[in-house]
Amino acid sequence: MRSSLVIGSRGSKLALAQAELIAVELRRINPEVELRLEIIKTTGDVRMDPLSAIGGKGVFTKELEDALLDKRIDIAVHSLKDLPSAIPASLQLTAICKREDARDALVLGRGFTYPQPSIRHLRSGAVVGTSSPRRTAQLKFLRPDLVIKDIRGNIDTRLRKLDEGQYEALVLAFAGLHRLSLEERISYIVPAMEILPAVGQGAIALETRTEDDWANELLAPADDRDTRLACTAERAFQKTLGAGCNLPIAAHAVVEGKQVRIDGLVTDPAGSSMVRDQLTGSTEDVEILGTRLARHLMGRGAHLLE
């Protein structure tokens, strides 16, 4: 009788913290299960070039999927926002765990204080660090007078560069800071109306082999209904815009009873133009809703922003 699973994770501090959260949940579901962690290096971990230069989505997930397909691991733990909308046919997202706050957070460097810390109150010319084209474009749209500089590395590395004075502020995911118990560094939680989160941001996805019935049954209770519905709508929005779409996109869906509301946008890379809207529909049609919103934005010229 099978009783063990190999969990695959990236080796960053955040990825390992997320893998540990999943291990705790799996032991809660089945205290008898034996778990082993396998650290997988991905392209995004090895190369420090801007993400847009090394392939964008998939650079933190492909090697984990390869390990699943090769049966070196049984579960791949992903930050859902890193996972492309299309996954291999023999793999599945068996669980999308309850979502953390999906919003972004502003982190000010030590020594920089504002009476009202926020994106809108940063001084003109302030240097803000981010590695995300989505954040960059929305920051430029909101505050074209800011200086946006690329920053790579794990959260500790980014905070160190911030505290050395290389940046005045960073914009990071609230979820990552929270999972690493770094909430005290958060100066301001950015409302979605200012910077719309990435598709799937704040959610942890567990990917398995479709044929692995035992693992799939074990993981099923870890799936959160509302999170899956919201993220399915967001991923349909992303998929409809197309894997070849190099424009910054963002989407965030919220389930309210039997209804889901999805807010989506597309911008040009410079953040000078933006097409944004939201739709509300039934939780029974979340994929259709995400697709409809993407087509609506395309009809308003989203595909012409390049």
Query: Is 74 an annotated catalytic residue?
Result: no
234 phi/psi in degrees, rounded to 5 = -65, -40
Say which of 82, 104, 212, 268 is annotated catalytic. 82
Q: How many CA atoms lie within 13 A of 202 on its CB side?
A: 25
The Cα–Cα gap between 20 and 28 comes to 12
Q: How many CA atoms lie within 13 A of 169 on its CB side?
A: 31
The Cα–Cα gap between 201 and 101 comes to 8
Residue closest to 129 by CA, chosen among 163, 155, 166, 156: 166
Assigned token pair, 77: 């733990």
Within 8 A by CB and 6+ apart from 169, the residues are 106, 107, 108, 109, 112, 122, 126, 127, 128, 129, 162, 187
3-state secondary structure 147-181: EEECCCCCHHHHHHHHHCCCCCEEEEEHHHHHHCC
Largest CA distance in the chain: 64
Torsion of CA 190, 295, 245, 127, to 10 degrees: -20
Catalytic residue positions?
82
